[in-house]
Structure 1
Amino acid sequence: MGDAEGLAQHKWHVREEVRRRRASMGSDERLRARDALTDRLISLVRDRGASSVSCYASLPDEPDTSAFLEWARDNGVAVLLPVSLPGTRLAWTRSDGSPLVPGRHGILEPSGEQLPASAAAALDLMLIPACAVDLRGTRLGWGLGYFDRCLSELDRRPPLFAVVHEADVLPALPAEPHDIPVDGAVTPDAVRLFPR
């Protein structure tokens, strides 16, 4: 087995383990995690003095960002949500509380005016989804490359935080040259900063 094949297989196994672990969470555990994660996200935004952030509308098995998005709207924090486009490209739409609609891959997305991917460069902070992260800041996504492509094209990259469960912070993950490291991770348990 070649290096590329071994790397792909390792990533597949990590993704499957994370999917299994997330799917096994009970509803009470999910609610506690959502509330704790919301507190951590709010603390990060306040500590950084961020008035504009990116976030995402979470899928059922992802760390739940819904309460944070509501808090941000109620507290004047501008939020951009991703919209997936053909060719694994991202656009952004302002989160205004309007109903989300299923986009590509069945992911809920806003339907408002689309801003180019480069709009993220003006943000104070980016909160992005991840399958897992490691203690060096290596982020493992779900394999489609939307965020890596978007981040690689920004002329200025705001501080980047992956939003994951504590069990998704691993000692080490395989990294490829195109992977964009994150500055930290936000979990229900903590805000972690990674060395740079």
Structure 2
Amino acid sequence: MSHIGRPAEPDKRTLRRGFISVRSRLTADDLREAAEALGERALELPELAQARTVAAYVSVGSEPGTLALLDALRARGVRVLLPALLPDNDLDWGAYCGADSLARVQHGGRMALFEPTGERLGPDAVTGADVVLLPGLAVDARGMRLGRGGGSYDRVLARLERAGAHPALVVLLYDSEVVERVPAEAHDRPVHAVVTPSGVRRFSRP
């Protein structure tokens, strides 16, 4: 009886559809303005100021824009690693050497990704990063991240844990995607901070 009147917690698939739907309505101006503000906020992070190697990603579609941030980090002398999706959904890594070092890669019927064209460094290269910038669709008050559901970054986080690596984990989102709660499973790991166009929110490290 205690459950009567209490709304069921939405499942991850339903939540993902909702956040993707909102993103799909953003205009080109919305995306550009958000990317500029997001980059400025992210560059203020002490973790990025001190980082020698940052594992990041190239935003696609209506994701919060990352390309200007990648260029700014590279201009600071930071080594930026970008992922390349493997057939089993794991991630290999390569160095970012500017926008002309990227290739558009179509993975089956899914969204095309921009991946580094240079030498592949292996999936374990991420364990040498000082900061890992994570894509996502939402983060909650505990720092739990809602990803797209492919599992690639779950593998990255598990690999970091196995290696005893402890980079700062930072997710890049829009302001409306910082929510009270998202569903979490036993293997999910909280991030340390979220950067949105309006600022930074930190979560306590476990």
Asked whether the two chains share a fold, i.e. TM above 0.5, the reply is yes
From the CA coordinates, give the structure whose radius of gyration is larger: 2
Distance in 1 between residues matched to 2:131 and 2:24, nearest whole Å = 29
Give the direction of change, closer, same or farther, for the CA distance of 1:29–1:143 in structure 2 (3 Å limit). same
- Taking only aligned residues, the RMSD between alpha carbons, in angstroms, comes to 1.7
State the secondary structure of the residue aligned to 2:43. Answer: helix
After TM superposition, the runs of 4+ consecutive aligned structure 1 residues lying more than 2 A away are: 45-48
Shift of residue 195 of structure 1? 2.2
Distance in 1 between residues matched to 2:175 and 2:103, nearest whole Å = 27
Shift of residue 40 of structure 1? 1.1
**Which letter maps to 1:192?**
R
Q: Does 1:35 align with 2:41?
A: no
Residue matched to 1:158: 167
Residue matched to 1:181: 190
Superposed, 1:12-31 pairs within 5 Å as 12-31=13-32
* Overall identity of the aligned pairs, in %: 37
The C-alpha deviation readout for 1:91-128, integer Å capped at 9, x for no partner, is 11100011322153321111211112221121111111
Shift of residue 28 of structure 1? 1.8
Residue matched to 1:123: 129
Shift of residue 46 of structure 1? 6.3
Give yes or no for contact 1:95–1:110 (8 Å, CA) kept in 2.
yes
Give yes or no for contact 1:101–1:110 (8 Å, CA) kept in 2.
no
The C-alpha deviation readout for 1:60-104, integer Å capped at 9, x for no partner, is 210000111111222211100011102121111100011322153
Distance in 2 between residues matched to 1:87 and 1:99, nearest whole Å = 21
Moved more, 110-119 or 88-97: 110-119
Distance in 2 between residues matched to 1:14 and 1:35, nearest whole Å = 26
Distance in 2 between residues matched to 1:175 and 1:134, nearest whole Å = 10
Residue matched to 1:3: none
TM-score, length-normalised on structure 1? Answer: 0.90
Structure 2 alignment gaps of length 5 or more: 1-7
Residue matched to 2:149: 143
Moved more, 96-105 or 111-120: 96-105
Shift of residue 20 of structure 1? 1.1
* Aligned positions, number: 190
Distance in 1 between residues matched to 2:140 and 2:47, nearest whole Å = 25
Distance in 2 between residues matched to 1:47 and 1:68, nearest whole Å = 11
Distance in 2 between residues matched to 1:46 and 1:183, nearest whole Å = 11
Shift of residue 19 of structure 1? 0.8
Distance in 2 between residues matched to 1:100 and 1:112, nearest whole Å = 10
Give yes or no for contact 2:192–2:203 (8 Å, CA) kept in 1.
yes
Residue matched to 2:83: 82
Shift of residue 149 of structure 1? 0.9
Moved more, 66-75 or 132-141: 66-75
Shift of residue 49 of structure 1? 1.1
**Which letter maps to 2:63?**
E
Shift of residue 146 of structure 1? 0.3
State the secondary structure of the residue aligned to 1:162. Answer: strand
